[in-house]
Amino acid sequence: MFIHIGKSGLCCRLFILLHTMEIHKNDKIKIIWLINDATVDEIGKYITPIDNVEFLPINSDREISDIEYKYYDHRITRKHKVDNEIILNHLSKIRLCLELQTIVNDFVKTHFPYISIHVRRTDFVRYCKELRNHGMNASLDDEPFFNFIEKNDKFKVFLTTDCVKTRTLFKEKYGDKIITHHNSFSTDSLRQINMENTLLDLFIAGRGIDFKGTNHSTFSNIIYNLIILNKGEVK
């Protein structure tokens, strides 16, 4: 069975994937993974194999014009209400490949305990404007992150952000208190961080002892769930 999980960013696709894994838990599925400006690489080469799930990377829907497939986008997460513990159990099946997991483990061994923050910016600025136009609370204020850091002042802070200007702001304000694992940004593209570093950010942040994320961000939501898994709160 072929399933196309849309054209959105990495973590939005991950949530769609987790729902798909539950909906089709008794099926062998091939996930059509479109490489585009929002998700610039295929995920399959960075994670260990998942039972009954195979990834099919494509660069254009024209490549699959002769394939019959189901199309799931973010609306599937509203149409099929899946219990969060089930989502967490499926998330636990998504594991980094040995090379990347070793990087995560070495980072944690060096810096733990630390808290994590995710400060989403770049194209999120436009998204927040759209949310506010629909009467939803969508803030780009850095002050809540500053308060969170200062409330936990005895800990280092792992910062994950999609914006080099944001990283500079926090590093200038807090110096060596801010810890990161890479300095690779591409400011001339929609996604300033490549897939490998994005996944490393995700899983390192998920090992923190506490976390503050960005509202309406699926990246932050995945980190919240990883922290629950890593604390052993879901059996």
Residues 198 and 111 in one domain: yes
Q: How many CB atoms lie within 10 A of CB 54?
A: 12
Q: What is the mean pLDDT of residues 203-229?
A: 93
Domain annotation covers residue 58: yes
Inter-CA distances, 148 with 109, 137, 143, 151, 193, Å: 23, 19, 9, 5, 25
pLDDT score of 122: 66
For residue 235, tell me if it sits in a domain. Answer: no
Sign of torsion over alpha carbons 131, 135, 136, 138:
positive
Rounded to the nearest integer, the mean pLDDT of the chain is: 87
206 in the same domain as 156:
yes
Q: Which of 68, 91, 114 is the last residue of a domain?
A: 91
Res 52 pLDDT > 60: yes
| Domain residue limits at 129 | 98-230
Cα separation of 85 and 136, whole Å? 27
Helix (H) or strand (E) holding 32: strand 29-34
Q: Is residue 188 part of a domain?
A: yes
222 within 8 A of 14, measured Cβ to Cβ: yes
Q: Do 192 and 110 share a structural domain?
A: yes
**Whole-angstrom distance, CA of residue 172 vs CA of residue 155:** 17
Average pLDDT over residues 184-203: 76
Residue ranges of alpha helices (H) inside the chain are 10-23, 76-79, 84-91, 98-111, 124-133, 143-151, 164-174, 195-205, 218-230
Q: Does 217 fall in a domain?
A: yes
Domain termination residue (choose one: 91, 123, 154):
91
Domain boundary among the residues 91, 121, 155 is at 91
Residue-wise DSSP of 75-115: THHHHS---HHHHHHHHTT--B-HHHHHHHHHHHHHH-SEE
Task: Answer whether residue 200 shows pLDDT above 80.
Answer: yes
User: Per-residue confidence at 234, pLDDT binned at 50, 70, 90?
Assistant: very low
Average pLDDT over residues 161-173: 89
Going by pLDDT thresholds of 50, 70 and 90, the confidence category of residue 202 is very high
Strand order through the sheet with 69-71: 53-58, 29-34, 2-4, 69-71
Query: Are 72 and 111 contained in the same domain?
Result: no
Residue 203 sits in a domain whose CATH number is: 3.40.50.11350
Is 104 found in the same domain as 83?
no
Tally the domains of the chain.
2
Domain annotation covers residue 222:
yes
CA distances from 21 to 55, 82, 206 (A): 13, 11, 21
Q: Please return the burial class of 3, using the count of CB atoms within 10 Å of its CB with bins 0-12, 13-18 and 19+.
A: buried
In a domain, 23, yes or no: yes
Q: Region 102-128: what's the mean pLDDT?
A: 85
pLDDT of residue 232: 54
